Structure 1
Amino acid sequence: MAPRQSTPRAVLACGEVRTTLLPARQALDIRSAAGLLALRADERVLLSERPGLYARSPATLTGVDCPLPSANGARIRAVGTVTAHAALTEGRVLQTSAHCSLPATGPDQRRPWGEYLVRPGVVEPLGKLPHEAVARGVLDGPRRGDLDVGLIADGLLTRLLRHPLLDQRAPFRSRPTRLRWAALPAAPGEGPSLERFTLAEDELRTVRLRVPEDTAATDLATLCDDLALHDWLLTTVVRMLDGVRLGATAAEDPGAAVRALRPAVDHLLHLWMPGARVSRELAPLWAPLEERPGFTRQWQAMVQRIRDQLTLHTVQAVHREAEPAP
């Protein structure tokens, strides 16, 4: 069997992101973040302090040999490697992400593992890839036994959450979210576009993209990490506000609203920086989300609401202290 000379162009990239609050009472400093994310001894953790503290682990590879998910029920076997990494934002929000690219065609027979290992993050079908059907299958959710990059992201997350650096004392309650994405080729000459962003059940979000052929899968993964981070921030702060009966609480327990909303001020409000680490070519994909549903508008409205409530309770506290004793 002669070795292949090159890999056909990718016609589908897909991945999944897990986002959660780091279970630690104090946010990790940059040195501790590097220790948490040191997944490989032969490669350093990427650290950045601008525009905010950010740490990203080296990539890891997981070999796969299984059928691909498909909306039309076709059973397409694929072999290759899935790339995974983890990231920590401001020492507080942990994400794990797994993704791969799939070419239009692959060999008719499985090749030796060495040929797949030299193409990290590429999963090749045996034969032709019905990429539209597979993209729908990825977003709908794989069946048992199908390629499931979410399981790889979840496994990495479980590993990191057991790290001895973490005291398992999160400063407030929150829920993890999952973002599942698929990117298909854009029409010749067209730029990237976000076709659909969906909030599904069980904390799941799905994203369908169209991108030019030469778009790097790592850039797509970074974009989707960014979308997942900001969606998690919105979701978490919305739930904080929903859990506070702002009007009734002031009379029953004047300090309850402050205690409920303070974690947002201490840990979350300064994290809102959409697109800060997204490539220039993919940065325009934030625009549809800013127009509808309006991520930043909603965030700014919630931030103002929190500040107004804290100001109101401060004024009321001062007023109560100033009242003469009966």
Structure 2
Amino acid sequence: MGEVHTALLQNSGEIQEPVCRQVLGLMAGETVRVSRRPIAHALSPDLLTGVDCRLPSASQARVRAVGTVVSRCAITGGRVAQGSSYVRVERAAVDRRLSWSHYLSRPGVAEVLGKAKAGDLAAGFLDGAPPDCLDLGAISGRFLDLAQSSPLLDRRAPFRIPRTRLRWVTEVGEPSIRFTLHSDQVRTVRIAHPEPFTPALAALCEDLALHDWLLTTLLVLVERAGIGSAPGAQAAAKLAPAVDHLLHLWMPGAHVGESLAPYWESLDRRPGFTRQWRTLEDRVRDQVALNTLTLLSITAQTGRRCQ
């Protein structure tokens, strides 16, 4: 299970690779992983957070778990930042708490002390953690805030947009994926995968969160532009940030393993992420082109009158 927070990087423009490395250098001596193709992507070192608390459960059962949560931050295209945390929940070999050295030797694993049902824990986590339970969202948000507060960022973002939160769970079973919108900012994903959990599944969910945020943000910018009701030049000006900062970032599955690509393909069939993105992208480009043609026409008419 895990949670990903996605937000516009608090900087006026795209940051380059050297700055990305510094912003994401959250742990001294550890390397920031950077890839340039097919799109620039920087990933911080994994950081561990020790936890000893209740797990959320749909039945409200008191389930205690002890272990470590893996967290990391990412910057895509020098423009979008993410904070991500996940943990693999397993049944403990013994029903008592062991020394921290045991749990540190198993990074990203939380051991359940006592009995628990996987489906009950999954449903409880997706519903949102009560105040006294493991809150992966708080951990993800803290690491994202840490990156966003870097003194290397000028905090002059080109537009204001809320961050989104995507909670996810994976279970062993026949391949399937279910994506659900709960509010303007909260989404959940439930994945069944035939093999045991690997970090590649976390990367898939981070990619889903990134593209969900891009689509959500483009929708908001198009709505704010007031196409059809506002003057053409005004609408085009409000759409300019989409052209400058968002449209080139759409590359679903760019950092997802080939074996997990069918999950993205499933979402592209229904609800149709890419189909909706292309429709919005065409609308933005058409509006900008129409405004340009209008300005050229006005300029030409003015020139003829001056002759």
Q: Which of the five TM-score ranges fits, normalised by the shorter chain?
A: over 0.9
User: Alignment partner for residue 230 of structure 2, among 217, 242, 249?
Assistant: 249
Contact 2:88 2:197 in 1 (8 A): no
Contact 1:105 1:128 in 2 (8 A): no
Contact 1:45 1:56 in 2 (8 A): yes
Q: What corresponds to 2:297 in structure 1?
A: 319
Report the Cα offset of residue 222 of structure 1: 0.3
Contact 2:39 2:254 in 1 (8 A): no
Report the Cα offset of residue 78 of structure 1: 0.4
CA–CA distance in 2 between the matches of 1:121 and 1:245?
Answer: 46
Distance 1:114 1:105, change over 3 A: closer
Contact 2:35 2:42 in 1 (8 A): yes
CA–CA distance in 1 between the matches of 2:116 and 2:261?
Answer: 29
Letter aligned with residue 158 of structure 2: P
User: Alignment partner for residue 184 of structure 1, among 144, 166, 171?
Assistant: 171
Q: What corresponds to 1:142 in structure 2?
A: 129
CA–CA distance in 1 between the matches of 2:184 and 2:229?
Answer: 30
**1:82-93 to 2 correspondence within 5 Å?**
82-93=69-80
Gaps of 5+ in 2: none
Query: Do residues 199 (structure 1) and 172 (structure 2) align?
Result: no
User: Alignment partner for residue 120 of structure 1, among 101, 107, 113?
Assistant: 107
CA–CA distance in 1 between the matches of 2:30 and 2:196?
Answer: 26
Contact 1:17 1:153 in 2 (8 A): yes
RMSD in angstroms over aligned alpha carbons? 1.3
Letter aligned with residue 226 of structure 1: D
Q: Give the secondary-structure state (helix, strand or coil) at the position aligned to 2:225.
A: coil
Query: Do residues 157 (structure 1) and 144 (structure 2) align?
Result: yes
Q: What corresponds to 2:278 in structure 1?
A: 300
Q: Give the secondary-structure state (helix, strand or coil) at the position aligned to 2:192.
A: strand
Q: What corresponds to 1:131 in structure 2?
A: 118
Contact 1:17 1:95 in 2 (8 A): yes
CA–CA distance in 2 between the matches of 1:176 and 1:305?
Answer: 24
CA–CA distance in 2 between the matches of 1:133 and 1:278?
Answer: 28
CA–CA distance in 1 between the matches of 2:195 and 2:95?
Answer: 24
Letter aligned with residue 176 of structure 2: S
Q: What corresponds to 2:23 in structure 1?
A: 36
Q: Give the secondary-structure state (helix, strand or coil) at the position aligned to 2:274.
A: helix
CA–CA distance in 1 between the matches of 2:287 and 2:66?
Answer: 55
How many residues align? The count is 304
- The two structures have a TM-score, normalised by structure 2, of 0.96
CA–CA distance in 1 between the matches of 2:301 and 2:146?
Answer: 55
Letter aligned with residue 95 of structure 1: Q
Q: What corresponds to 2:157 in structure 1?
A: 170
CA–CA distance in 1 between the matches of 2:103 and 2:170?
Answer: 22
Letter aligned with residue 84 of structure 1: S
Q: What corresponds to 1:220 in structure 2?
A: 201
Report the Cα offset of residue 320 of structure 1: 1.0
Query: Do residues 15 (structure 1) and 2 (structure 2) align?
Result: yes
Q: Give the secondary-structure state (helix, strand or coil) at the position aligned to 1:98.
A: strand
User: Alignment partner for residue 283 of structure 1, among 252, 257, 261?
Assistant: 261
Gaps of 5+ in 1: 1-13
Report the Cα offset of residue 58 of structure 1: 0.2
Q: What corresponds to 1:240 in structure 2?
A: 221
CA–CA distance in 2 between the matches of 1:131 and 1:294?
Answer: 30
Contact 1:106 1:127 in 2 (8 A): no
Q: Deviations over 1:245-289 (max 9, x none)?
A: 222323xxx421221111111111010100111112211101221
Report the Cα offset of residue 202 of structure 1: 4.7
CA–CA distance in 2 between the matches of 1:299 and 1:52?
Answer: 18
User: Alignment partner for residue 44 of structure 2, among 28, 51, 57?
Assistant: 57
CA–CA distance in 2 between the matches of 1:274 and 1:26?
Answer: 22
Q: Percent identity?
A: 48
Q: Give the secondary-structure state (helix, strand or coil) at the position aligned to 1:249.
A: coil
Q: Give the secondary-structure state (helix, strand or coil) at the position aligned to 1:323.
A: helix
Q: Give the secondary-structure state (helix, strand or coil) at the position aligned to 1:246.
A: coil
Contact 2:70 2:86 in 1 (8 A): yes
